[in-house]
Amino acid sequence: MSNLENRLKIVSFGLALGIATSVAILFLGIVAWLFGWGTDIVNVFGSFYIGYAPSFLGSIIGMIWGFFDGFIGGVIVAWLYNLF
């Protein structure tokens, strides 16, 4: 088996992780807004995701931040995986 078969597609992995992160952040924000569960976690994330809060608009803002954070993290992980 050659090394090329085990390589990750960097952008695809970044997109997958970005989408997964954004959905999780959106879900957490909506649940905190509607039911009050996880508001402490949302407030912690809100300290570095500017605008993220337990509200509808805050959840959308957090989702956007989460996508970019997950995308960049996914690109770094895939690049390191391919490097080693």
Q: Is 11 inside any structural domain?
A: no
Q: Say which DSSP state 7 is in.
A: -
75 occurs within a structural domain: yes
| Average confidence (pLDDT) over 65-81 | 98
d(CA 7, CA 5): 6
Could you report the per-residue pLDDT of 45-58, keeping only the tens digit for each? Answer: 999 999 999 999 99
- Amino acid found at 60: I
Residue 64: inside a domain: yes
Q: Which tokens is 58 given?
A: 């805050």
> pTM to 2 decimals?
0.89
Q: What is the distance between the terminal CA atoms of the chain, rounded to a whole angstrom?
A: 16
58: in domain = yes
- Sorting pLDDT into bands at 50, 70 and 90, what band is 6? confident
- Percent of the chain scoring above 70 in pLDDT: 95
d(CA 24, CA 8): 23
Kindly give, in sequence order, each residue whose CB lies less than 8 Å from that of residue 37, ignoring residues fewer than 6 positions away: 31
30 within some domain: yes
Give the range of the structural domain holding residue 37, as residue numbers without chain letter. 19-83
Residues 19-31 pLDDT 10s = 999 999 999 999 9
Q: Is residue 13 in some structural domain?
A: no
Q: H or E stretch including 11?
A: helix 10-35
Give the per-residue pLDDT at 73.
98
Number of domains the chain contains: 1
